[in-house]
Chains A and B, each alone.
Chain A
Amino acid sequence: QQPVQSPQAVILREGEDAVINCSSSKALYSVHWYRQKHGEAPVFLMILLKGGEQKGHDKISASFNEKKQQSSLYLTASQLSYSGTYFCGTVQGGGKLIFGQGTELSVKP
């Protein structure tokens, strides 16, 4: 079952903040976040493994609410380099990573 992301797209000015949400109708045991630039492969951002876990690097962080079966990715003080499509992924049987439909983020100067 594919996780659902929202919003589908967001446009920001440099320095603004954004939140991307990922939810699943099935129980979540972990959430993976990736960013993909146009024409390139996805790049790993982070994994959240436990309910209540929060994690971050630089100005990108994420939280995982196991009870609500959802995760959120927070981008603060966005930079031009943050532009791309963000995918959340959930692991299903056999270690298969199933991606959400993606959120396209555009950061303008």
Chain B
Amino acid sequence: GAVVSQHPSWVICKSGTSVKIECRSLDFQATTMFWYRQFPKQSLMLMATSNEGSKATYEQGVEKDKFLINHASLTLSTLTVTSAHPEDSSFYICSVTGGTSGSTDTQYFGPGTRLTVL
């Protein structure tokens, strides 16, 4: 399977500041990465699909101006939470897909980043 890292593992910030989370695919080139958010005791909710070299595709209800995604290389996608507020506190997880075609692709998840906004 693919090895995915995220940095940082956790971050605490003040309300109004911006936070950048990195997702790296360590052992293969990922043209597509996904970003999820998970609130306590809830499921993982897909936020956006990050495509290398093009704009991210956001799910309905996710503010693209607030959650900026950049996928500048085949091994790195970044999620920036701009002007973070306490309601943005959550567990953010990225994943990469291990292949190139449809539903047969296994998704491998990074270890997640826990964001706490004070």
Q: Is the CB of B49 within 8 A of A97?
A: no
Residues 41-70 of B at the A interface (beta carbon under 8 Å): 42-46, 49, 57
B49's contact among A87, A94, A99, A100, by CB below 8 Å, is which? A94
**Is B77 in contact with chain A by the CB < 8 A criterion?**
no
Q: A41-B112, A47-B104 are in contact. Are A95 and B43 (CB under 8 A)?
A: no
Q: On chain B, which size bracket covers the interface?
A: 20 to 34
A87 close to B107 (CB less than 8 A): no
> Counting CB contacts under 8 A, is A19 at the interface?
no
Q: B93 contacts which chain A residues (CB < 8 A)?
A: 41-42
Count how many pairs of residues, one from A and one from B, have CB atoms less than 8 Å apart in the complex.
58
Q: Summarize A's interface: helix, strand, loop or mixed.
A: mixed
A102:B112 contact, CB within 8 angstroms: no
> CB-CB < 8 A to B43: which residues of A?
2, 87, 99-102
Residues of A in contact, count (CB < 8 Å): 24
B111 and A40 within 8 A (CB): yes
A79 touches B (CB below 8 Å): no
Closest to A41 in B: B109
- Interfacial residues of chain B within 78-99, with CB under 8 A of chain A in the complex: 93, 95, 97
Given contacts A30-B104, A91-B103, A95-B103, are A40 and B112 in contact (CB under 8 A)? Answer: yes
Task: Give the CA-CA distance A97 to B93 in the complex, in Å.
Answer: 13
Instruction: Bits for A78-106, please: 1 = Cβ < 8 Å to B, else 0.
Output: 00000000010101001111111110000
Interface bits A20-43 vs B (CB < 8 Å: 1, else 0): 000000000110100000011111
A60 within 8 A of B: no
A95, B32: Cβ atoms closer than 8 Å? yes
B46, A98: Cβ atoms closer than 8 Å: yes
The answer to whether B44 touches A47, judged by C-beta atoms less than 8 angstroms apart, is: no
A-B complex: 3 closest residue pairs judged by Cβ atoms: A91-B103, A30-B103, A41-B109
